[in-house]
Every structure is written in structure tokens, then in C-alpha cells.
Chain A
Amino acid sequence: MPVAEAKKRMVRINGCVASAQAAKYADVDVIAAYPIRPYTATMMALAQMVANGELDAEYIVADSEHSQLSIAHGAASAGARVFTGSSGVGVQFAYELYSPISGSRMPVQMMIADRTLDPPGDFGSEHTDALSTRDMGWIMGWSCDAQEAFDNHLIAYRIGEDRRVLLPQMVCQDGFFVSHITGDVELPDGGQVREFLPPYKHPYPLDPRRPVSHGPQIMPEQGPPLQLERARAMEESMAVIEQAHEEFGKIFGRKYDPWLEEYKTDDAEVVFFLQGAHAVTARFAIQHMRERGIKVGMVRLRTIRPYPTERVQDSLSKFKVVGVIETNMALGSVSSGGALYAEAAAALYEADKRPLMMSFMAGMGGEAIVLKEFYWMTEKMIEAQKKGKIEKRTHWVGFEH
């Protein structure tokens, strides 16, 4: 594609608006909205698009997140492409619906702009809100900037609506760091989207002309086959995810590794393992440290559900020390820190070579992780590398000297 033409479609928008634009390009049929900061801006933008006639969709304002997801569930059952979203405690208020939606195999898409869970009220980004639903059968991953957020929405629809998958997707971005910071986003042309994302059709939609029963009561022995099918769909989505990313790269010219972004890892001895927006700061910190000869790199997890176990094994086992930057809370968990450590460590258990692993509780409550904190964390990793062992598994960054 000629560069000049693509430049014409460059816009400077924040993550929330990028998500709204993606929903518009995906030509969604139903939008279920309920406000909660910081994701609200997405719904504001969509409301404007519907009002302006840019997007022909049913825009339904629910009376709570629970209703919002129920509307999404119902609309998807009737065969609609559905877009919804939430933040923080709103994500959790809808909790009842996550399993039914994936269990009935409805490819609803939910945009998350992370917000710290209460108490007390805190608007800052922390991944615990969406991560708390990670085992509910939703395809899930984090973007680190507005462009990636835009792209991930389109890719996620393509994955979720694939007949081999039919699962809902949570497309997450950090609140504020992505949702409210503008970045350059290249909007596609309609033809590209049509080519990448064909119209959606559920195999058994609710239709009075051909009645079916969705979600009927079942016998205990009917449960395991259904769960097995859902597990299979999640596992088989991995191939679909890879295929979708590859095709996206071909059509749109932006190539993503579906699972991991590796930054300056070729000769790295210590790496940060993280997901989301702090990767942007991490890249600068790594550049600076590289200039001083420190062999540090970064591995960013792009998709956490399904978890790329083998890829994580292959990648992380190359390094001496892995420092997991959590940006989430898993109180009383295996590392007494966050959820990312536990899963990465579990993935590495079967690896031939295991790196030393430590967990950094950083970026909590939406605090920015500043450069000097990345330096501090790197020092801790190098210290462990020198000693050849982990003396303290989990560090609360900014509270130790």
C-alpha cells in the first residue's frame, strides 16, 4: 500500500477512541453500554458515531454491568456482533455472566480499560479487574498503545467468531496509560476490514422461525462433555490466533507476534516479563541501560488466554533472571505477589533450563513505573544473577532500599 495513502488515515487519538473506532470498523450490531471510568470515553465516542449516523448499531444503555453483559449475551444469542466494555469494579459486577457467555459460545467482545479495584476509589490502572476473570473461557490479552488496541479489537473478533473457536474476547488496555493518552493510529480502509473480518453468523441463533433452546437445564453427566468442548475450543483457538495475526499482518502491514513481544532479548541475560502499557517505559529504560552495557531485555505477554505455555518456556528459559512486573494483585498467591509470576513459573517448571525468577509489585494502583524504578529492578536482577540465587522472591518496588 502506498505510504502516502496510509498517512492520510493517520489520526492522533487515545486508546478509548481507538477502541471505539475499531468497533465502528468492525461494524458491530449491538453496543451495550454502562459508564464507569476510564473506559467510558469509548462508549461516549460510540454514542456519537451512532448519533451521527456513522455507525448503524443498536446502542443500548444498561442499568448496570450485569445487565450490560446480559444484553450482550442476549444480543449475541440472536446472532448479533456485540461490543461492550467496562473497567474496575464494573468488570466484577458482571461476573455472573462471564461463564454463561463463554459456555454458550457467544463471541461477545468486551473492551477493558483497567482500573484498580476498590477500596478506596482509585482510577489508576491495575490489571486485577480483568485478570480476575481470566479463567472464565474468554480470549484475553493486553495492548500497550492505542494502535495496538485498535488492531487487537479487529483481530479478537476474527478469532472469537471463527467456527472453530466461538468464544468471547476481552481486549484489555491500561486505563489512563493507553485509554487516555493519545497516540498515532492508522485507520484502515473499509475494504481491508471487510477482507479480514467477514460478517458474523452464529450457527444456532435464537430465531422464532427455527426454535432452539439455549442454556437448558442439563443432567450432571451432560456437564463434562460440555466443559470438555469448551476447553477444546480454547486450546484449538491457539492455531486460529496465530493464523489471524499472520493474516492481519498481510492485510494491514502491521505484524505482531500473537503471544510475546521480545525487546532486545537476543543477548539479554536478565529480562522483564510484563504485559500492557508499562512496556513502553520499559523499552526506554532498556535502551538507556543497554547504552551502559547492561544486558537487559523485555518479554511482553500479548495474549494471556489461552496461555502460550510452550512459547513462554522457550523464551524465558534462555535468560538467567526473569523479573516479572505484575501490575496486578494475587493476594496470598504462590509468590504472595501477582498472578503473572505464578503462571510463568508454572510454565517454566517443565523447562530443561530454568531461569531465576522474581516478582516485582510495581505500577500498583495506577502508579507510573518510572525509569529509575526500572533501573532499580534491573539491579535486583543482576544481584540475583551474581549470587546465583533468589534471596527475596517478591519486591514491592518503591518501598525497599
Chain B
Amino acid sequence: MSTKGTKIPDWLTVPFAGITPAPTQEKGQDLFPTGNWRAIRPVYRDKLPPCNNACGTNEKIQGYLDLVKRGKYLDAYALIKEDMPFPSVTGRVCYHPCEQACNRGKYDEAISIRAVERFLGDLGQALTNDVVQAGKPNGKKVAVVGSGPAGHSAAYQLARLGYKVTILEKSPKAGGLNRGGIPDWVLPQNVLDREVERLKQLGIEIRTNCEVGKDVSWDDLKKNYDACVLAVGLIDPNSIRAEGENKEGVLYGLPFLRDIGMGTSKVKLGARVAVIGGGNTAIDCAREALRQGAIEVTMITVEGNQEEMPAVPEDLHDMLEEGVELIHGRACVAVLGNGKVEALHLHPAKFSGAVNASPINIDREAKPEKFAVDNVIIAVGQHASLNWLPAEFKNERGTIKADKFGRLGDTNFFAAGDIVQLGSGQPLMVVNAVGDGKRVAFNLDKVLRGEALQPRTIPVDVIFDLNRMNMTYFPHFPRIQQTLLPPKTRKKTQDEVIQSFTEEQAVEEANRCFSCGTCNACDNCYLVCPEPCIARPERSNGLYKILVDYCKGCRVCIEECPTGCLEGVPELDFDTGVVRMDTAFAITPGLHGRQAEQLKHLDERAPKNI
């Protein structure tokens, strides 16, 4: 009898056959401190998804796609509303830099983020009461000059911060560029009206027909408000400095669209219309011209080809589908006609340097081409109209001189949107103006609360490399395209060209999201952990916990994390709460005895029904 006379010391007494209380139980961790074997610790570190990063206002895109995926539409809408006052608008008009940045684009096709945003925006439109509430009033008054995207956004965020906001709008209707620069068939007026209503519901006063410099002076703003956001936009159209530009039948892009948008247009277009310019406004003008009765619409651009045009590619595509012709590499040097435009003189032209960022060289020696038209719409950009602004706050570009926080000197005046962004390199797009308005609102708030403005210094980690994720988890799946009205009929109406997603489509599209670098509670780590080292207190986003006393650092969860949010961090990087490797084989004496004791108690514990 070999075991005769043997005795296991108390501190080494093992539980029956090594069976122990499960390590997930209250005391189980303590009994099996195998965490000290670990050299690498799994850590949940959410990265910034590339879509969020690319968005002009840093919408939490991955976040709301995830919520849509789970059918939590209202939560998704509330999340989007943190950064974007009018998803119903951007869901229609945005140039969606998020989709260009989408990692899925490198894999099969980018996610149709804008369509999902529109789905959420329309959901918000249908709510009787918006989910957003005005902040607790702080007794301070702010004027926002202009109700375009930047002004709208700044006013919205300020109201949420508790300010009493007054919007001063020179037009008879609020909306700025959203109303005056975007045609009905892209953004129906009633959608925008609803968003303006939402602003009023936040307690924001909107004074229309109120122009700074005419109805209100600089000093009035200074005297009557604690602070002011200038979001006046670029409203005066640029000239092409062509001979005879003042003839009847010569129109300018933004005013042309604005008058139609405001319902004040008296224009009757002839059969042949030329649009000068190659940007988004020019495209909108060309397409609007068709809807205003023009038969032949031709677009004349200095850019040598379609790729060089600073336009959203799908809008360009839709325009060509509607039958607009393109003439590249030409500039108009003269508008011919007897009092009224009859023809244009076109000369070869190109940019002297970088495309769209350098002066234009026109070959004036060349024999001019005569191009017969009934109307010409000039859409080559806008400039500021700032007669009322003290000279010290003007810069050489003719826009407002503000620091990087949007503040004018050390005043309580701030500027946001195109009026400060022109020439900054940032595209002058709705979403960028919204982002600018948001950031300026927060900066203004800081200044009024007496806090210092400091640039953000925390580095952001954006996943651009698909290899940082586990792509084996993502089957290829095509993007769901929004349906469009047929070009033949749509070009004669103001009906919205692009159609909404159905609920099923929105969910299916959201389901394609990789959730790049961000935990989306997929449970994969929880399932693959070979030992119960991952606790899941709740099945909701980011709420996993690594039981570090027990985790041996096998890295399976890290390797198998589909989104790349789990990272392996060298154990030596941690200095608290760690049992180091040098104690690995010297567990507390008595541990095993305690385990055995625990097991005895298990017998006494009545099983809970599950």
C-alpha cells in the first residue's frame, strides 16, 4: 500500500479530483490566480472608425449603424443628433466623406451610410416631439447671424448648452444655403421646414428679414448679446469677368437656386442654357435648368475632364443621365448679344497650376468658339459680403479673420462655416459647416465660462488597415443602392430624385458595418475564450471585462476579435493590480486548502433554478 501513512499538508489539500468552484464565481478567481502566467494582457481599446474620423462633424457613424442593426432606431437617432442637428438634410445632401473613408470600400463596396442617416433623419422628422431637449437656461444670450448649416448647427448646440439663442436671418425664410442653395428635388422644402421648427422647439428665436449692417449693427450685436456667432456664409456670386456679363439672361448660380428655393424667382429660361462652372452648385444649376424648362443644357468647365471637376461623382453621373452635355477646358471671355445674351465666346483655358487651386490661364490668342445660348448661368463660386464688419476682422481673402477656435481676437464674437473656411483647404460642404458650427458653439461656451481654449492633443487611432481586423468574420456582401427616379421623367419635375431606404434595407446595410476598431458586443471574445476569463455583465456595447487574475494571456480573444478593438498590451506596461511572473510558482500557502473548503460549501448551497 503505497499511500499508507501519507498525509497531504493542509495547504496543499486539493479539492476532489481538482474540481473547484468555477473561476467565474465570486471567489473562484482568488483560488486560481493563473493571471500571473500572462505576458500579454488583452485590453479593449476602441479606435476611431474611419467614417467617424472623416465626417465633417464627426458623427458617431459606427455607433448608430450598430444601433440600427439592433433595431434601436430611436437610440440611433439620438446618437446622431449629438453632432448633427438635421440628419434628414445631410441624409440627402451630404457629399458623404464617410463613405469614401469606409474600410468596406477596400473590401467590396462602402456602406451606404448616407442612406441610413436619411432613414434615421426621416424617423426623427416623424416624431411629434424631438428627442433633443434645450439645456438648463444659463441666463446668457447669444446671437447667431445666418441660419445656414453652420448657423443652424451653432444655434442648436448652444441651445442644448442652455443659451438663449436668437438667429438673425436676412432672407424671408430660415435655412440659408440649405434652402437657397439646394434644389427641391434633392431636399424638399418641407423637410427643411420641419428641422427649422425643431430649432424653434428648442426655444430658439428666429428673426427673418433681419440683415446685419442694415437692420442690426455690429454695435447692436455687441451690446445686446453676451456673444455672437457669425455664420453668414458666402453669398455674393463670383464674376467670370467676361465682357458683356451684365446682359439680360445672364444669371448667377446661387441666386438662381435661391430665388427658386425662396419662391421668389421670376426667371423664365430659354431652350438653350449654358452653365459655367464645374462644381456642385453648377451641377445643381444645370439640373435645375432642365426642370425650369430648358431643352439643351451644356456645362462649360475649365477642368479638362470629369475627374478634375470638384463635384460629387454620383451627382455628376445623375446629371449626365438627365442629358446635360459637358464642354471641358474652356472659359467664357465674352457674352454676346444685343442687350440680351445670344451667344458666348469660348477660349481654351486651363489652370496655371494645381487644378481648382490656381489662377486660370486663358488662351486669348486662340480663335474664339461661338456658342449660341438663350441663357447662361454662372456658378464659379461665391465670395463674402462683409461691409458691416470692422476692418480689423477682415483678412486678405475678404473673409473673416478668426483664430483656430473660430474666435475673433479676444472678443466674444465667433465665426463659423464658409465665411471662415474659404481657403482653409476644407471643402465648403454642408457637413463641414455643421461641424464648424458645433465646434465654435463649444468653444464659445468655454470662453463664456471663463475656460481656456486648448487644441486637442489626444492622438486618435484610426483603423485604415484591414489587417488590423479579422476579416475572416466578414463575408462579402454587396452594397444596397438607393433607387432613383428614371432620368427621363424626373428631369421635368421637382420630385425627389433619390428614394429612401426601407427599414429592412437600412438594417441590412447597417449589418454590413465592420465596426472598425470598436467593440460592438459581438460576443466573439466571450465565446472563444478557452477558459471563462471574460465576463459579460450585460450584453451591451463595450461591457465585457477581462478577469485579469485568471486570464493566462493566450491571445485567442485578441486574434479572434473581428473588429480589432481587442489589443494585446505587454504586461509590463501595467503597474497596478498585477501579480508578476516571478511569483508564478509560489501561490499563497493554504490556497488549495481553501479551495477544498470552498467545494465543501458548494454541497450546502442549494442549486438555484435556471
Chain A residues with CB under 8 Å of chain B are 103-105, 166, 203-204, 207-222, 224-226, 228-232, 235-236
Contact = CB atoms under 8 A, between A and B. Distances in A.
Contacts of B23: 213, 216
A221 B585 contact: yes
A305 to B, nearest CB: 14
B588 to A, nearest CB: 11
A228 B8 contact: yes
B387 interface: no
A225 B12 contact: yes
Contact of B16 (A204, A217, A222, A236): A204
B472 interface: no
B610 interface: yes
A105 B16 contact: yes
Nearest to A221: B12
Contact of A229 (B4, B17, B32): B17
Contacts of A221: 12, 585, 587
Given A219-B585, A235-B1, A211 B12 contact: no
Nearest to B33: A219
Given A211-B22, A211-B25, A216 B32 contact: yes
Contact of B24 (A104, A211, A220): A211
Contacts of A208: 610
Contacts of B14: 222, 225-226, 229
Contacts of A224: 12
A216 B610 CA distance: 24
Contacts of B610: 208-209
A213 B2 contact: no
Contact of A209 (B13, B552, B607): B607
A218 B14 CA distance: 10
A204 to B, nearest CB: 5
A226 B585 contact: no
Interface in B563-578: none
A213 B20 CA distance: 5
B263 interface: no
Contacts of B16: 105, 203-204, 229
A204 B598 CA distance: 12
Listed from nearest, the 7 A-B pairs whose CB atoms lie closest are: A209-B607, A211-B22, A232-B3, A105-B17, A225-B14, A210-B607, A213-B22
B475 interface: no
B609 A216 contact: no
Interface in B268-305: none
B28 interface: yes
B12 A222 contact: yes
Contact of A217 (B4, B531, B585, B603): B531
B608 interface: yes
Interface string B585-603: 1010000100000010011
Contacts of A166: 17
A231 B2 contact: yes
B587 A219 contact: yes
B18 interface: yes
B25 to A, nearest CB: 6
B34 interface: yes
A237 to B, nearest CB: 12
A222 B31 CA distance: 12
B6 to A, nearest CB: 6
A156 B14 CA distance: 27
B592 A212 contact: no
Contacts of A229: 8, 14, 16-17
Main DSSP-derived SS at the B contact region: loop
Contacts of B6: 228, 232
Given A211-B24, A214-B17, A228-B3, 11 more contacts: A103-B17, A203-B16, A210-B605, A212-B21, A217-B552, A219-B587, A221-B12, A222-B12, A226-B14, A229-B8, A229-B17
Indicate the size class of the contact surface on chain B: 35 or more
A213 B3 contact: no
B590 to A, nearest CB: 12
A230 B587 CA distance: 23
23 contacts: A105-B16, A105-B17, A203-B16, A204-B19, A207-B607, A208-B610, A209-B608, A209-B610, A210-B607, A211-B24, A212-B20, A212-B21, A212-B599, A213-B28, A216-B20, A216-B32, A218-B18, A219-B587, A225-B8, A225-B12, A226-B14, A232-B3, A235-B4
B13 to A, nearest CB: 7
B119 to A, nearest CB: 41
Contacts of B19: 104, 204, 212-214
Contacts of B34: 217
| Residue of B16, B24, B587 with highest tally of chain A CB at under 10 A | B16
| Residue of A204, A218, A230 with highest tally of chain B CB at under 10 A | A204
| Residue of B18, B22, B23 with highest tally of chain A CB at under 10 A | B18
A105 B14 CA distance: 14
B18 A231 contact: no
Nearest to B12: A225
A235 B602 contact: no
B32 to A, nearest CB: 6
Nearest to B605: A210
A94 to B, nearest CB: 20
A310 B16 CA distance: 29
Interface in B22-47: 22-25, 28, 32, 34
B607 A215 contact: no
Contacts of B17: 103-105, 166, 204, 214, 226, 229-230
A215 B18 contact: yes
Given A104-B17, A213-B19, A214-B19, A204 B602 contact: yes
A232 B17 CA distance: 12
Contacts of B24: 211
B593 to A, nearest CB: 10
Contacts of A225: 8, 12-14, 592
Given A221-B12, A228-B6, A212 B22 contact: yes
A212 B19 CA distance: 7
Contacts of B585: 219-221
Contacts of B3: 228, 231-232, 235-236
Contacts of A213: 19-23, 28, 32, 532
B318 to A, nearest CB: 58
Contact of B599 (A103, A204, A220): A204
Contacts of B32: 213, 216-217
Contacts of B20: 212-213, 216
A219 B586 CA distance: 9
Nearest to B37: A217
Contacts of A105: 16-17
Interface string B534-557: 000000000000000000100000
A224 B12 CA distance: 9
Contacts of A230: 17
A225 B12 CA distance: 7
Nearest to A310: B1
Contacts of A226: 14, 17-18
B24 to A, nearest CB: 7
B12 A235 contact: no
A62 to B, nearest CB: 23
A79 to B, nearest CB: 12
Contacts of B4: 235
Contacts of A217: 32, 34, 531, 552
A210 B609 CA distance: 9
Interface in B459-500: none
A227 to B, nearest CB: 10
A93 B208 CA distance: 87
A212 B20 CA distance: 6
Contacts of B21: 211-213
A105 B532 CA distance: 23
Contacts of A222: 12, 14, 18, 592
| Residue of A215, A218, A229 with highest tally of chain B CB at under 10 A | A229
Contacts of A103: 17-18
B18 to A, nearest CB: 5
